[in-house]
Amino acid sequence: MAKYQRILDAAISVFAEQGFFQSTIAQIAKEAGVADGTIYLYFKNKDDILVQFYQYKTRQIFERFREAVSKPATAEEKLRCLIRVHLQEFQKDRNMAIVYQAETHQNRTLGTELIKEMSKMYRDIISEVVELGQEEGTIRRDLYMGLVKRFINGAVDEVINSWIHSGGKYDLVTMADPLVDLFIKGIGVNRQ
């Protein structure tokens, strides 16, 4: 399994560096320090590496997301913890962040079902938190949930994207609290 993991990490590093389509099995093998043939012991082809990466990595991340929302008591604290963990995980693994962000915006069939499933899981967590806040009386009831999920998901994604494009130069996690404040209070002056 150590070799499987090494190939997966090497592949994500190569994909992040030069994009999925321009990457070759030979480059991945070189990066992993294995023979080309070794890769085919674990993976059918390049596509399969990407699909297995999604399966492995995102399952791991989603367990952390679930954990993040299970501990705090209030909706606002749950949302804060979710966004913080989200930014933390992407900051911890910049290659994964690059590949994930690039691939989720591609319009092609490879891994599409997996990506849809994961996006749905993330949005389900947001729904649960928002609904809890509505029960608590801390979150507005006049919301269109489909839009709220996109509003939160999109803003977090864009904050991660900007961080990637900046070369990962600043501490991404410091954005969590100001971002959650924007989600909750908006940019408008609270008129009494």
Write out the residues near its own copies by the rule CB under 8 A: 16, 18-19, 21-22, 76, 98, 101-102, 104-108, 116, 130, 133, 137-140, 143-144, 147-148, 150-159, 161-162, 164-165, 175, 178-179, 182-190, 192
Could you tell me the smallest distance in angstroms from the CB atom of residue 76 to its own copies? 8
What 3-state DSSP class applies to 72?
coil
Closer residue to its own copies, CB minimum distance, 70 or 192? 192
Query: Closest CB to its own copies among 25 and 34?
Result: 25
Cβ distance to its own copies smaller for residue 3 or 123: 123
Tell me the HSE value of 189 on the side-chain side, using a 13 A CA sphere.
2
* Interatomic CA distance for residues 132 and 184, integer angstroms: 14
Residues 6+ apart with CB under 8 A from 91: 97, 163, 168, 171, 172, 173
Separation between Cα atoms, residue 97 and residue 87, nearest integer Å: 10
107's tokens = 């319009």
- Least distance to its own copies from the beta carbon of 78, Å? 13
Q: Which is nearer to its own copies, 85 or 159 (CB)?
A: 159
